[in-house]
Amino acid sequence: MVQNQQEAFSVDMPRTGGSKCFDDDGRIKRTGSVWTASAHIITAVIGSGVLSLAWATAQLGWLAGPVVMLLFSIVTYFTSTLLAACYRSGDPISGKRNYTYMDAVRSNLGGVKVKLCGIVQYLNLFGVAIGYTIASAISMMAIKRSNCFHKSGGKDPCHMNSNPYMIAFGLVQIIFSQIPDFDQLWWLSILAAVMSFTYSSAGLALGIAQVVANGKVKGSLTGISIGAVTETQKIWRSFQALGDIAFAYSYSIILIEIQDTVKSPPSEEKTMKKATLVSVGVTTMFYMLCGCMGYAAFGDMSPGNLLTGFGFYNPYWLLDIANAAIVVHLVGAYQVYCQPLFAFIERQASTRFPDSDFIAKDIKIPIPGFKPFRLNFFRLIWRTVFVIITTLISMLLPFFNDVVGLLGALGFWPLTVYFPVEMYIEQKKIPRWSTQWFVFKSSAQLVW
């Protein structure tokens, strides 16, 4: 296992030439495609946050809301293509691979920026794991409460404790966390992506039904008016809406790790650019539909979660399906975000203790009809402890979602804009003060 991990993650690994079974870096042939990469991206991007875009649109109005979503989609696509170009250093076909975001920053920028990138990236990944645990419990409780209200006719307040649901989610994650690496996660990402479309479509359908029931399209050109909220609240909510939309498009934090699962030829950069175009296009369509239709249905009263805006009755079975889809999606999204963190810790352990059987030794467990499962005791114990820690924090700090939102907002600009632009300039040796250099630099500052 040590040897495999060193081959997979060492930035100094010499190229040995490709073959039928191995890639040019000595690793087993990658099998990812445009579609598996798109599934990973969609799983990461279309989170349950899509259901809050109606609220964000309500703060900005019919003019700014759709325009901001479109602008962020363009920025995300542009910077993602720059980042994809940094997967290999030098030649885009035969250059040295950068297996992680930190490797890419190390190869192109170096110095303190590598540590800064690692701190921001892995702190965000840890925060997302906690946030997804809390979000899954909220959706599971919504299903339970919906059925409780339906049976009691609304007479029972249906109070419940979120802890058992967080523990249940944690137990599921302990099992799925034993998936050895990102490359073997493709089937879970595809399932999670399908679930994203399921609950987004449910929210969209309910929004359309509500507009038809209202007999009109609600909302205004400039969003919620001053009077309903104070001028200070209007400004604050507008900035919060911008942050929500920006964070809803952020997946650069794991783009390089996704790209490292892609086969070649064609070059990984070309495949990733196509996957980015497909993913950002699909995501933007769903964001526009859910955000705008939710705003049309509820106007200034658009809820923070589109599904909760319909109460627990109308129709409760569809809301149950949507919330169940959210839970399944979060199971996959948790793994998509945590696998890079798992790999980082295991890489560090292998480097520090290269002769440890506890860290290095894999035990092959035969599974009829499938490839043998590789059981590693270090992976089993440390990943289980990680899931337990994130679950405990979720139980102790159920308001942590607000902190996760702050982490996401702080991490968006450096990881999605600054580092991709700086690395691309360095990799392509763009002359300082040239027109192209000025355009890249000014674009990064404009987004900031």
Nearest to 415 by CA among 372, 376, 447, 382: 447
Give yes or no for a contact between 156 and 149, defined as CB atoms under 8 angstroms apart: yes
User: 47 or 417, which is more confident?
Assistant: 417
User: Percentage of the chain with pLDDT > 90?
Assistant: 14
Give yes or no for a contact between 273 and 84, defined as CB atoms under 8 angstroms apart: yes
Residues 39-68 have a mean pLDDT of: 84
pLDDT score for 310: 58
**Can you give the residue ranges of every domain in the chain?**
2-447
Three-state DSSP class for 174?
helix
Token pair in block for residue 77: 């696509």
pLDDT score for 15: 44
pLDDT score for 3: 44
pLDDT score for 408: 65
Query: Does residue 184 register a pLDDT over 60?
Result: yes
Query: Does residue 45 register a pLDDT over 60?
Result: yes
Q: Could you tell me which CATH number the domain at 2-447 has?
A: 1.20.1740.10
Query: Does residue 258 register a pLDDT over 80?
Result: yes
Query: Does residue 359 register a pLDDT over 60?
Result: yes
User: 247 or 318, which is more confident?
Assistant: 318
What are residue 63's phi and psi, to 5 degrees? -80, -60
Give yes or no for a contact between 303 and 58, defined as CB atoms under 8 angstroms apart: no
Residues 69-91 have a mean pLDDT of: 88
Tens digits of residue pLDDT in 160-178: 888 999 999 999 999 999 8
Nearest to 287 by CA among 312, 306, 309, 310: 306
> pLDDT band for position 407 (50/70/90)?
low
Nearest to 318 by CA among 201, 153, 439, 438: 201
Helix (H) or strand (E) holding 365: strand 363-365
The neighbouring-strand residues paired with 28 are 22
Residues 22-40 have a mean pLDDT of: 82
pLDDT score for 393: 92
136 vs 134: CA distance, rounded Å: 5
Helix (H) or strand (E) holding 71: helix 53-84
Query: Does residue 401 register a pLDDT over 60?
Result: no
User: For strand 373-375 and strand 363-365, is the pairing parallel, antiparallel, or unpaired?
Assistant: antiparallel
Query: Does residue 80 register a pLDDT over 50?
Result: yes
Residues 96-103 have a mean pLDDT of: 87
Residues 199-224 have a mean pLDDT of: 85
pLDDT score for 174: 94
Query: Does residue 416 register a pLDDT over 50?
Result: yes
CB burial string 56-81: b at 16+ within 10 A, e below: bbbbbbbebbbebbeebbebbbbbbb
Work out the burial of residue 148: count CB atoms within 10 Å of its CB; fewer than 13 is exposed, 13-18 middle, 19 or more buried. middle
Tens digits of residue pLDDT in 325-342: 989 999 988 998 898 899
pLDDT score for 10: 40
334 vs 311: CA distance, rounded Å: 27
pLDDT score for 4: 45
> pLDDT band for position 14 (50/70/90)?
very low
pLDDT score for 164: 93
pLDDT score for 308: 65
